Structure 1
Amino acid sequence: MKAKGIVLLAGLFSLVRAHAAESATNVPAAPAPNPTAIVVIDQSALRSAPRESAQQQVMLWQGDSLEVRGRRMDYLQVYDHRRERAGYVRASQVRLLSLQPQDAAGLLAVVRFLRDTPGAEALGIGYAAAFLRAAPGQDIDAEAFDALGTMAERLARRASSTRSKANDAAVAAHLEVVAGYGVAMRSLERDGRVQVCYDGDAFRRVMALPADAEQKARAALALTREECIDPATTPFERASLDGWRADVLERVPRTELPEYLRNRVRMRAASVWSSLAFERVRRAESPAEAAARALQELAGVNRQELAEDDMAAYNDAAMRVGAVRWAAEPAPAKSATGLAITTAAGQPGETCIRLVDAKHGGKAPLFQRCTYGAVWTNSARANGAGTALTLAVQPLDAWREMWVFHRVGDDWNVDVVPPAGDAPGIGYVEFAGWVPGGRKLLAAREVRTGGRFSRTFEVLDLATLAIDKRADKPDSLSTFYRWQDPLWRGRTVSLR
């Protein structure tokens, strides 16, 4: 009997000791969080009671995240933390989400489905945010950020090109939804319209994480968009930004890309390097390397694999490269007439252009004009009679003019031929040859105005610089075909 009591006491002691140890080591579990629901139908009503006739508290949109606090019939009782409003929403208009680690794969599957679905960007970003909350850190790679960035980028493009008030309302609401997930957008005024741009945070994460070539390419292209550069950026800031853009594009493994995507990277790189060439010459640095790289990138574009949607980008890249191509060109042979161009420093930032000949040197030039633009002295071309000379002058990035010096009686004058009469944008006009007789010259012109691209080959009257004839192909003009300059034909990008 005594032995049996000892055994019972020992068992009780062991049980108490085990319970005490468990109480000391286990922290009481926090109450499980309320379920989360995501709105899947635009303009879903959050009502004050679980019935259709109840007062509408607020309008919900795709991607809105709600905390579920109960259920009444076919309604869910929810709380909207973004708007700080409670109410009821139909259960059929939302989807319940599980944020447990074991359910993260299912959330990612939905993200994959929605990433390329136009109009579902806010919903897709909501699911991407849910995946990032649910998934363990070691399971999060570049794919989720690539999808999130792709959807944010597409939403920004939709916001920049809305056509109706109904679309405006939906897009504005979707922008508010994604802002609640930390997706930041910037609005820039450009060419009289608002350009909405994604700030690119997800794409920066893609560039920092191990990712495949296509993910890197999409991220680099999104981060280096020309239209998303603030027009108020100072020249110093722009030079630093373009250097960063070139570095981002260099980090894309091109050999692993499909040809159409490789073309896009090449076109973007050509545009960036042309900007760097212009910025370097403005800082009195050698632009030759940057300009040569821009020409190389443009020449590397495979026209046979160029997507139809990429033609506008290809033409824009070609115009940017064409504007700075003289930075990579050698100096021409001296004119037989001795007519030439020299330059001297003017006011801070100015370059003074001096027209000289065998009898009139830099101290007593035939004519002088100063400019703040980049003067490509190696572009100077004089006619055989020594009565006219053309010169390429680039006042802005991607905008190059043709200056025509010509003699009127005993005096000299200069006329400026811009790529277009509109506000400067993207384009250039360049000398293409002299027509014997000294009264006409040939010019090639590429420009984008009003959103439309134009490329023409022209015969100009030297006295007035009015266009006598023009065509979209040089072979269509007998005068142009016969008298075009061989050096121009061999080096211009307008005949690509």
Structure 2
Amino acid sequence: MPAGVLLAAAAAASLGTALVTADHAVLRAAARDSAPLQAQLRPGELLEVRGERLDHLQVWDHRRERGGFVRASQVRRLAGTPGEAPELLAVLRFVQDAPGREALGIGLAAAWLQAAPAEAVSGQAGIEVLAALGTMADRLAQRASAGAATSANAQAALAADLDLARHYGVRFASYEREGRMRVCYDGEAFRRVLAMAARPAQQADAALALTRADCLDPALPPLQLHEANRWRAELLDRVQVEALPGYVRNRVAMRRAEVWSTLAWEQARRGEPPHAAAQRAIAELASVQPAELPESDAPAWNDAVMRVNASRWAAVPAPVADKLSSRPSVQTVPGQPGETCVLLVDARHDAARPLARRCTFGVVWPQSASLNREGNALALAVQPVADWRELWLFRRSRGGWSVDLVPPAAVTPGLGYAEFAGWVPGGRQVLVAREARGEGRYRRRYEVLSLDGLAVQRQSRDAEALGPFQRWADPDWKRGTVSLR
């Protein structure tokens, strides 16, 4: 290569780079505002500076493989030297808490990582930058999932920010949940934070970001999903909660409760003892101090309660099979591979000719069975998936016994429970507690159902507001449920 070309290249390199900081920066074909527009630039883009002309910089855009000119006032010149690192960190601290500036923050973090010396990258400053990078990438993914960008321009800007973040090596995954796409950050920066000597607050933020249930791949096979949930539990257990503020301790405890309740259901599904996992979930939920819950954490608190309550029967020992009597009871027998069949039996109707039979691929909790005083109805908890528990009602009529399913809500199974709360004397009514989140809606209610047609006769958001709940709520339900809060 001729010496002149080498000198020109060296001179161009010495001019450094420029970070786009303005919202409406553009790359033009010449150093004037009337020149043809080459590209619309986003805050956070890094350009190579190759010269100066008037009030413009001549730059090369490596992402688009295109050169042009940009106004000097719309960018920040960077030298990429260690002496510049403290100033970049100061700006990053300000930008990381500004919603909508995630792409600019990611660009600043990348510039700091390039300029800072190795000892700074591996020290507390490096942990702070990685934690900020993870937080901004995670917030950008949440913005993309929320669908808040309604206008075409806002959607285009959000898509450009995601593309710019990917250019810096930030990876995202997309999953379909409830008919909508959920964008998730892969968490690489957070994993690096946890591998370093991070402070407890940084550990907690990283662990909470990495253990979101809605960012688990729904296509994972059961065995891999179980391993992922075990990893989530181990990761959360590494967080030193003693040094955390009360509201952050609450967040860690709620997430631990969610994960351990899921593990309890998975262990029961695999034929393993689920009692310890379920008891751990209940204990973690009990450690939450509601007085130290910010309003923004109310949905997370409700979700944690629903998940724990869905699996709470795993903490109760399975009943020992008794001799059949004149009063109906339930038995479980294997059905097809992976299937459990529930039989309603008595002294005259054994497993060979039961009063009623219904099969499920979910987990049946025989310890939840409750027969009313009149002997014409029996309630049973059945959990088809980890976050969704249904109530089965066996009812006797003139034509014999039938089995009906009471779901948490009339939506696609998402998150929730429907549970037996008591029998009203007379054999004509049952008390039911239901709570669910699905299809963008959340609802909690206590109901009095007619056993004749399962119609809701009375309901309220407060159990104490219903006379039948005050008089006839089952004592075991009141002791064991976590829906009363």
The TM-score, its normalising length taken from structure 1, stands at: 0.91
For 1:274-289, what aligned pairs fall within 5 Å after superposition?
A: 274-289=261-276
Q: Against the structure 1 CA distance between its residues 234 and 392, is the aligned structure 2 distance closer, same or farther, given a 3 Å change threshold?
A: same
Shift of 1:163: 3.1
d(CA) in 1 for partners of 2:120, 2:326: 73
The Cα RMSD (Å) is 1.6
2:52 maps to 1:71: yes
Look up the SS of the partner of 1:447 in the other structure. Answer: strand
Report whether the alignment pairs 1:102 with 2:87: no
What corresponds to 1:443 in structure 2? Answer: 432
Please give the alpha-carbon distance, in whole angstroms, between the structure 1 residues aligned to 2:222 and 2:399: 41
1:52 and 2:39 aligned: no
Choose which of 120, 135, 139 in structure 2 pairs with 1:154: 139
Deviation at 1:463?
Answer: 1.5
**CA positional deviation for 1:117:** 1.0
Equivalent pair of 2:330/2:366 in contact (CA under 8 Å): yes
User: Deviations for 1:176-196, whole angstroms, at most 9, x for unmatched residues?
Assistant: 111111011112222122211
State the shift of 1:201 in Å.
Answer: 0.5
Give the match for residue 377 of structure 1.
366
- 1:467 aligned residue (449, 453, 456): 456
Q: 1:337 to 1:388 in 2, by over 3 A?
A: farther
Supply the AA of the counterpart residue of 2:457.
D
**Which of the numbers 124, 128, 133 marks the counterpart of 2:109?**
128
Which position in structure 1 is the counterpart of 2:128? 143
Cα deviation, residue 385, structure 1: 1.8
Please point out which of 242, 263, 266 is paired with 1:255.
242
% same residue:
54
- Return 5+ residue gaps in structure 1 as ranges: 1-29
Kindly provide the amino acid, as one letter, of the partner of residue 302 in structure 1.
Q
Q: Secondary structure at the match of 1:454?
A: strand
* Structure 2: stretches of 5+ with no match in the other structure: 1-9
| Matched residue type, 2:107 | G
Deviation at 1:346, TM superposition (A): 1.0
Residue in structure 2 matched with residue 187 of structure 1 by the alignment: 174
1:186-335 paired onto structure 2 within 5 Å: 186-331=173-318
Q: Provide the rounded CA distance (Å) in 2 between the counterparts of 1:45 and 1:479.
A: 68
User: What is the CA distance between 1:355 and its match in structure 2?
Assistant: 1.0
Cα deviation, residue 364, structure 1: 3.1
Letter in 2 for 1:82: R
> What residue in structure 2 maps to residue 10 of structure 1?
none
Q: CA deviation at 1:430?
A: 0.6
1:482 aligns with 2:471: yes
Contact between 2:343 and 2:357, CA under 8 Å: does it hold in 1? yes
The Cα shift of 1:347 comes to: 0.8
> How far 1:293 sits from its partner (Å)?
0.8
Per the normalisation by structure 2, the TM-score is 0.93
CA distance in structure 2 between the partners assigned to 1:481 and 1:412 by the alignment: 30
Change (3 A) 1:52 1:296: same
| Aligned equivalent of 1:433, options 422, 426, 439 | 422
Cα contact 2:408–2:434 (8 A) shared by 1: yes
Q: Shift of the alpha carbon at 1:332?
A: 6.6
Q: 1:61 to 1:163 in 2, by over 3 A?
A: closer
The separation in 2 between residues aligned to 1:442 and 1:175, in whole angstroms, is: 49
Letter in 1 for 2:452: A
Describe the shift of the 1:321–1:336 C-alpha distance in structure 2 as closer, same or farther (beyond 3 A): farther
Offset, 1:72? 0.4
Shift of 1:330: 3.7
For the residue of structure 2 that corresponds to 1:338, the secondary structure is coil
Letter in 2 for 1:428: Y
| CA drift at 1:102 | 2.1
Please report how far the alpha carbon of residue 356 of structure 1 lies from its aligned counterpart in structure 2 after TM superposition.
1.4
Q: What CA deviation, in whole Å up to 9, does each residue of 1:222-260 have, x standing for no partner?
A: 101111122222212211110111111111100011010
Return the alpha-carbon distance in structure 2 between the equivalents of residues 84 and 120 of structure 1.
Answer: 24
Q: Does 1:351 align with 2:335?
A: no
1:132 and 1:375 map into 2 onto residues whose CA distance is 53
What's 2:4 paired with? none
How many residues in Structure 1 have an aligned counterpart in Structure 2?
467
Q: 1:54-81 deviations in whole A, cap 9, x for unaligned?
A: 1111111100100001100100000001
Q: Which amino acid in structure 2 is aligned with residue 143 of structure 1?
A: E
Amino acid at match of 1:365: P
- C-alpha separation in 1, matches of 2:318 and 2:352: 22
Distance 1:383 1:111 in 2: 64
Q: Is the 8 A contact 1:336 1:384 kept in 2?
A: no
Letter in 1 for 2:283: Q
> 1:66–1:78: 8 Å Cα contact kept in structure 2?
yes
Distance 1:72 1:410 in 2: 92
Larger Rg computed on CA atoms: 1
Distance 1:439 1:77 in 2: 83
- Counterparts of 1:85-96 in structure 2, within 5 Å, are 85-96=66-77
Q: Does 1:390 align with 2:390?
A: no
Cα offset, 1:490, TM superposition = 1.1
Q: Is the 8 A contact 1:274 1:294 kept in 2?
A: yes
Task: Please tell me whether the aligned partners of residues 281 and 287 of structure 1 are also in contact (alpha carbons under 8 angstroms).
Answer: yes
The Cα of 1:358 is off from its aligned counterpart by: 2.7
Aligned partners of 1:122 and 1:360: how far apart in 2?
68
d(CA) in 2 for partners of 1:482, 1:337: 28
Partner SS state of residue 68, structure 1: strand
Q: Decide which moves more: 59-68 or 134-143.
A: 134-143
Contact map agreement 2:275 2:317 (CA 8 A) in 1: no
Of residues 343, 351, 366 in structure 2, which corresponds to 1:362? Answer: 351
Go from structure 1 to structure 2 and tell me whether the alpha carbon gap of 1:466 and 1:480 turns closer, same or farther (over 3 Å shift).
same
Secondary structure (helix, strand or coil) at the match of 2:350 reads coil
* Aligned residues of 1:337 and 1:386 also touching (Cα < 8 A): no
Contact 2:15/2:51, CA 8 A, preserved across alignment: no
